[in-house]
A and B are shown apart, each in its own frame.
Chain A
Amino acid sequence: MDINSRPLGRRDFLRGSLAAAALAATGSLAACATSGTGTTSQSSAPAGQVSDTNPFGVKSPSTVDAVIFNGGYGIDYAEFGGKQVEAKQQGVTVKVTPTTKVAQTLQPRFVAGNPPDVIDNSGAGLIGINTIRDQLAELNDVVEAKNYEGTVIKDTLYPGVMNPGTFDGKFIVLNYALTVYALWYSASLFDQMGWTVPKTYDEMLSLGQEAKGKGKYLLGWGKEAATYYQTMAIGSAIKEGGDEVRLALENLKPDCWSLPPIQDVFNGLKKIIDAGYVKPGGSGTQFTAAQAQWSDAEQFILYPSGGWIENEMKKQTKSGFKMTGAPEPTVSSNSKMPWEALHSTAGEGYIVPSQGKNVAGGKEFLRAMLSKDAAVNFAKTKLSSTIVKGTVPADGFGSTALQSQIKMLEAAGSNIFSWNFVDLYGMNTDQLVVWNSFLSGDSDVAKLTKGLQDITDKVAKDDSIKKVQVS
Chain B
Amino acid sequence: VTALSSGGLTTGVASPGGVSSSGGLRRFGSARWRRRNLTFDKISFFLVFLVIPVAFYIAFVVSPFVQAAYFSLTDWTGFTPAMNFIGLSNYAKLFTDATFLQAMANNILMAIVVPIVTLGLAMFFATLVTVGGSTRGNIRGLRNSSFYRVISFFPYVIPAIVIGLIWSQIYDPSAGLLNGILTRLGLEQFTSFAWLGNPHTARWAVMFVIIWGLVGFYMVLFIAAIKGVPAEVFEAARIDGAGRFRTAISITIPLIRENVQTAFIYIGILALDAFVYMAALEPGGGPDNTTLVMAQELFNTAFTKGQFGYACAMGVVLAVITLAYAGLVFAVNRIFGGKSEVGE
Q: Which residues of A contact B (CB under 8 A)?
A: 1-3, 6, 8, 12-13, 16-17, 19-21, 23-25, 27-29, 31-33, 35-38, 40, 101, 103-104, 107, 110-113, 124-128, 130-132, 134-135, 223-224, 279-286, 289, 293, 299, 425-426, 428-430, 432-433, 436-437, 440, 442, 454, 462, 464-465
Q: Find out whether the CB atom of A281 lies under 8 angstroms from the CB atom of B197.
A: yes
B144 within 8 A of A: no
Q: Find out whether the CB atom of B77 lies under 8 angstroms from the CB atom of A284.
A: no
Of the listed stretches B131-139, B256-264, B302-310, chain A binds B302-310
Q: Find out whether the CB atom of B50 lies under 8 angstroms from the CB atom of A16.
A: yes
B55 within 8 A of A: yes
Complex formed: what's the CA distance from A132 to B172 in Å?
38
The residue from A12, A24, A134, A436 contacting B58, defined by CB atoms under 8 A apart? A24
Complex formed: what's the CA distance from A125 to B77 in Å?
15
The residue from B39, B45, B67 contacting A36, defined by CB atoms under 8 A apart? B67
Question: Contacts A3-B39, A130-B306 known; A23 to B1 CB distance under 8 Å?
Answer: yes
Contacts of B17 in A (CB 8 A): 2
Complex formed: what's the CA distance from A134 to B172 in Å?
44
Q: How many A-B residue pairs have CB under 8 A?
A: 190
Question: Contacts A223-B284, A284-B172 known; A440 to B198 CB distance under 8 Å?
Answer: yes
Q: Find out whether the CB atom of B1 lies under 8 angstroms from the CB atom of A24.
A: yes
Complex formed: what's the CA distance from A35 to B67 in Å?
9
Size of B's binding interface in residues, CB under 8 A = 66
B37 within 8 A of A: yes
- 13 A-B residue pairs with Cβ-Cβ distance under 8 Å, sorted by A, are A3-B42, A25-B62, A32-B63, A107-B78, A113-B81, A279-B192, A280-B173, A284-B194, A284-B197, A285-B172, A428-B304, A429-B285, A442-B198
Complex formed: what's the CA distance from A411 to B288 in Å?
40
Give the secondary structure class of A's interface. helix
**Besides A2-B37, A289-B172, 20 new A-B residue pairs in contact (Cβ under 8 A), listed by A number:** A1-B39, A6-B37, A21-B58, A24-B54, A25-B62, A28-B62, A32-B66, A32-B70, A36-B83, A101-B303, A125-B304, A127-B79, A128-B306, A130-B306, A285-B172, A285-B197, A430-B99, A433-B284, A440-B198, A442-B198
Q: Find out whether the CB atom of A3 lies under 8 angstroms from the CB atom of B194.
A: no
Q: Find out whether the CB atom of B287 lies under 8 angstroms from the CB atom of A281.
A: no
Q: Find out whether the CB atom of B4 lies under 8 angstroms from the CB atom of A224.
A: no
User: Which residues of B, 220-261, contact A by the 8 Å Cβ criterion?
Assistant: none
Q: Which residues of B contact A (CB under 8 A)?
A: 1, 3-4, 17-18, 36-37, 39, 41-42, 45-46, 50-51, 54-55, 58-59, 62-63, 66-67, 70-71, 75-83, 86, 93, 98-99, 168, 171-175, 192-199, 202, 283-289, 300, 303-307, 310
Question: Contacts A21-B58, A36-B71 known; A131 to B81 CB distance under 8 Å?
Answer: no
Contacts of A112 in B (CB 8 A): 81
The residue from A6, A101, A289 contacting B175, defined by CB atoms under 8 A apart? A289
